[in-house]
Amino acid sequence: MDSIRYSDLHPVLQGKRLIAFDLDGTLIDSVPDLAAAVACALRELDLPEPSESDVRDWVGNGAPVLVERALAWALQAAPDPALQRRGYDAFMTYYGAAPSVLTTLYPGVQPALQALHKQGMTLVLITNKPERFIEPLLKHFELLDYFTLWVGGDSLAEKKPSALPLLHAAQTSQIPPSECVMVGDSRHDIAAGKAAGFTTVALPYGYNHGEPIEDSHPDLVLSSLTELLMTVPHATRTA
């Protein structure tokens, strides 16, 4: 029977030593759990609940912005600061209680991370999700051991599309930006990567506010994380 094994890195990774990955929309599809938490928060405030497809277009800028967009949708107006705080606190409570019930890992993520790790690449996670949720999610999906560092949206003074989280990861890892790659699904990932001097790789299946990721002009667009690795067929035959 024919089978597939990973043999080498994609040419875009030649000369690179660090790969930074986004989380939501890149490694995991977290929208179902995010949408459930948003719905519970708005229900608590006696406001209409958005659909999962609505929430899918709001994800990407961190929890405070997600809640602000949900409230603005429900009110058809910008929420006042007090309501924003109540909504945010409610969302964090509901999401914190169940961050991985409906969330799924995208196909190819685990084998790709495992293979890249075995190839000696330094893997870091840079997300706009609050830091408190990162480790539990990585543990749940058995990805924790692949990453040497993770940075959340509230870990530093700025988050993506700022270059700061990426430059922090490069400096902490003692690897120059020219030897780093940013892999993500949104314009914020690509903008942050370009600003930091990283090579940028985009995936088209995540959350990008309904816009084609190609419009952000990444260095490379791949359909799956497994395409970061070259594969060769090898046949197993019996006499």
Specify the pLDDT at position 8.
Answer: 83
Q: How confident is the model at residue 210 (pLDDT cuts 50, 70, 90)?
A: confident
C-alpha angle 220-224-226 in degrees, rounded to nearest 5: 100
Residue pLDDT, tens place only, 40-72: 999 999 999 999 999 999 998 899 999 999 999
Q: What DSSP letter does each residue of 79-126 carry, written as one string?
A: PPHHHHHHHHHHHHHHHHH-SSSS-EEPTTHHHHHHHHHHTT-EEEEE
* 74 φ/ψ sector (left φ>0, alpha ψ -120 to 50, else beta): alpha
Work out the percent of the chain whose per-residue pLDDT is above 70.
Answer: 93
- Cite the active site residues: 22
Is pLDDT at 146 greater than 90 in this prediction? yes
The whole-model pTM stands at 0.90
Residue 25 half-sphere exposure, CB side, CA atoms within 13 Å? Answer: 31
Specify the pLDDT at position 230.
Answer: 78
Specify the pLDDT at position 120.
Answer: 94
Element (H or E) spanning 21, and its range?
A: strand 18-21
**Mean pLDDT in residue range 160-175:** 98
182, 166 contact by CB (below 8 A): yes
